[in-house]
Structure 1
Amino acid sequence: MTTAPPDIVPAAQARRLLRLCAGLATAACTLLAACTTSGACESPYVRSPQFKGCGFQNPPNPDALPSAGSWKIWSRFLFETKTDTVPTDPIPVQALDTAELQALDPQTNHLIRLGHSSHLLKLQGKFWLIDPVFSERASPFQWLGPRRFHKPPLTLEQLPPIDGLILSHDHYDHLDTATIEYLAQRVQRYFVPLGVKARLLELGVPADRVTELDWWQNAQYDGVQLTATPAQHFSGRTLNDRDRTLWASWVIQSGGQRIFYSGDSGYFGGFRDIGERFGGFDLAMMENGAYDAYWPSVHMTPEQSVQAFEDLRGKVLYSVHNSTFDLAFHTWHDPLDRIADLSAGRKIELATPEIGEVLTIGQPRTNQRWWAGLK
């Protein structure tokens, strides 16, 4: 995009225009199904059932509603005023340290919420990460873009040795450049959907540490079995690489327990298929945030997240993809309010842990609406 020279556009206005354009590009590539793909159609993934034409595609879903046009979406981000999308009160964070993590029972499975969809897991004594984002902003630019509501409960330097790392897709709020660059040689094994390996190699990850999986393919590492499962979403990190990489949900099996992680997804029949194949889950980490009527099929409303959880035959509904970044137009607490009310009405065991809180799968806990009363 070109801008008018300084003698035509005042400097302050020009800077504002550049900020707006960059912000729109970030939002479009990170959240919206509005970018178009271009360039050559050659790909090493043409044999994948998910790869058609020039990129990966979602499974057929006649009930999927279309997103609004790109200009309509961009104009909304440019002109609409947001209300209560960012908290003014501090988000509660339970600080962690390495000694506390090492002391967690190595015979069980633990989850620690780092923020948004980022999690640290201790699976039978081994540490794993899911979609880790430690940067200040979920953006290609650290001077612009959605900024964290809170600090992570521990720093990258405080992380214990990491056995495995799972990525759901390549959007900036899930695949963070600075985080992966730091962890590149510190993680023993990476598990990613098709095409994401190239992203990691660019960030310094050794090729022999990365395992790419298509939907329904599985791998085993250090006692943990992983299966990449379908999701209804999209991918891309620039305006011209739309859907060049695959997106996925994940099934994690450890110590006789099954964990589901939805990644980012709209509601679709695949949740029922996954539940039937695996016979239900001890805990399901369900996307619950960044939804909007302008992009109804790539993120779930709380009502859809609950329905997907029931399709999966889950025992504990664990809400993710909220409380850290301003990525849509709903209030920051709307996902939590709605899913808590829905779960109470359906007698679903809900987990909305504080940032940094340790949840041990299979052990009783009392869930708290920690956000209640915060502005």
Structure 2
Amino acid sequence: MRVRWLGWAGMEVESQGHSLVIDLLGRPEDVLEGTPLAAPLPKVVAPHTQGDVLAGLCTHLHRDHTDAGALARALRPGGQVLHPAPFGGDDHENLWTLKADRELDELKLARRPMGLWETATIGPFTIAAVPAVDTLGDPQVSWAVEAGGKRVLHLGDSMFHGYWWRAAHRFGPFDAVLTPINGPTVCFPHCQPPSPYAASLDAAQAAVAVRLLGAAVAVPMHYDGFHLDGFYQTQPDELARFLDAASGESYEVAALEQGETLTL
């Protein structure tokens, strides 16, 4: 199995001549569309297997993790988009998922909503939707992917939670865990009063989560982009903070450059 970091939370997973993409992001500037805000944008690259990808896995329907246009370019004809099943609720509750949801429909992408702990087999890949926790209360999963005897877990931008041991028991051991590390604090108009706690795993939390999951290798992601003063605030030196937090752990850290591949 080969795992290639595409930038932000995007990953390309290849095995036995086939590929998946997870949380693919093609145009970071589109995430800020319709706002007067500017932000440092993450560097992203396209998949090696552009146009021939079996399936696109989305940990949740926020547009920096579900880029319908990028998925349409990446997928082969008939390729599927897998994402968490909806929770229901009104438009206020679903404010941050409505646009990505609509864009997937507009591009007529084949969709497969997945329930918690549900598994699917696509090509050589066995895929499981592992429970995860989103800072806004939107549906989110982590994706466990197995192929060719190798197993990885992609944590999306989940917060710290208590499913680590169950995930390790059901789908481990993991050869690699792909983890967010930027730990932003957020303040959005539809989620008030705001929480002071990290909206996705910060460096110290990510280091512990990888340990609890029993991974052989940690691959940091979801950093170097989208700092918005007053709305989405991160701390400087995100990667250095994670490397320091993980320095005493027994697992290895593979800090990839955008476009770099880890072979498992």
Please give the per-residue CA displacement for 1:76-107, whole angstroms capped at 9, x wherever unaligned. Answer: xxxxxxxxxxxxxxxxxxxxxxxxxxxxxxxx
**1:270 Cα deviation after fit:** 0.7
Equivalent-residue separation in structure 2 for 1:159 and 1:183 (angstroms): 4
Give 2:18's aligned residue: 126
- Is the aligned partner of 1:269 residue 2:172? no
Please give the per-residue CA displacement for 1:204-224, whole angstroms capped at 9, x wherever unaligned. Answer: 234xx3221111011101121
Equivalent-residue separation in structure 1 for 2:23 and 2:78 (angstroms): 13
Structure 2 unpaired stretches of 5+: 87-96, 187-194
Give 1:190's aligned residue: 81
Please give the per-residue CA displacement for 1:129-162, whole angstroms capped at 9, x wherever unaligned. Answer: 1111111415251775545243x33489x82511
Structure 1 pair 323–358 and aligned structure 2 pair: CA distance change class (3 A): same
Give 1:296's aligned residue: 197
Q: Aligned partner of 2:146: which letter?
A: Q
**1:337 Cα deviation after fit:** 0.9
Select which of 153, 162, 166 maps to 2:45: 153
Equivalent-residue separation in structure 2 for 1:122 and 1:299 (angstroms): 26
Native 8 Å contact 2:22 2:56 kept in 1: yes
Structure 1 pair 199–133 and aligned structure 2 pair: CA distance change class (3 A): same
Which residues of 2 match residues 200-239 of structure 1 at below 5 A?
201-206=104-109, 209-234=110-135
Equivalent-residue separation in structure 2 for 1:201 and 1:116 (angstroms): 20
Q: Identity of counterpart residues, as a percentage?
A: 22
Which residues of 2 match residues 314-353 of structure 1 at below 5 A?
314-326=215-227, 328-333=232-237, 335-353=238-256
Native 8 Å contact 1:232 1:297 kept in 2: no
Which residues of 2 match residues 69-218 of structure 1 at below 5 A?
109-137=1-29, 139=31, 141=33, 145=37, 146-150=39-43, 152-154=44-46, 159-183=50-74, 186=77, 188-195=79-86, 198-199=101-102, 201-206=104-109, 209-218=110-119
Equivalent-residue separation in structure 2 for 1:250 and 1:315 (angstroms): 17
- Is the aligned partner of 1:259 residue 2:163? no
Q: Aligned partner of 2:180: which letter?
A: E
**1:277 Cα deviation after fit:** 1.9
TM-score using structure 2 length: 0.80
Larger proportion of strand: 2
Equivalent-residue separation in structure 2 for 1:155 and 1:317 (angstroms): 21
Please give the per-residue CA displacement for 1:314-341, whole angstroms capped at 9, x wherever unaligned. Answer: 11011111124335433442x2111111
TM-score using structure 1 length: 0.58
Question: Could you say what secondary structure the match of 1:306 adopts?
Answer: helix
Equivalent-residue separation in structure 1 for 2:174 and 2:72 (angstroms): 33
Equivalent-residue separation in structure 1 for 2:35 and 2:73 (angstroms): 19
Native 8 Å contact 1:138 1:325 kept in 2: no
Structure 1 unpaired stretches of 5+: 1-108, 236-241, 362-375
Native 8 Å contact 2:2 2:14 kept in 1: yes
Equivalent-residue separation in structure 1 for 2:83 and 2:172 (angstroms): 24
- Is the aligned partner of 1:287 residue 2:180? yes
Question: Could you say what secondary structure the match of 2:234 adopts?
Answer: coil
Q: Aligned partner of 2:149: which letter?
A: G
**1:273 Cα deviation after fit:** 1.6
Greater C-alpha radius of gyration: 1
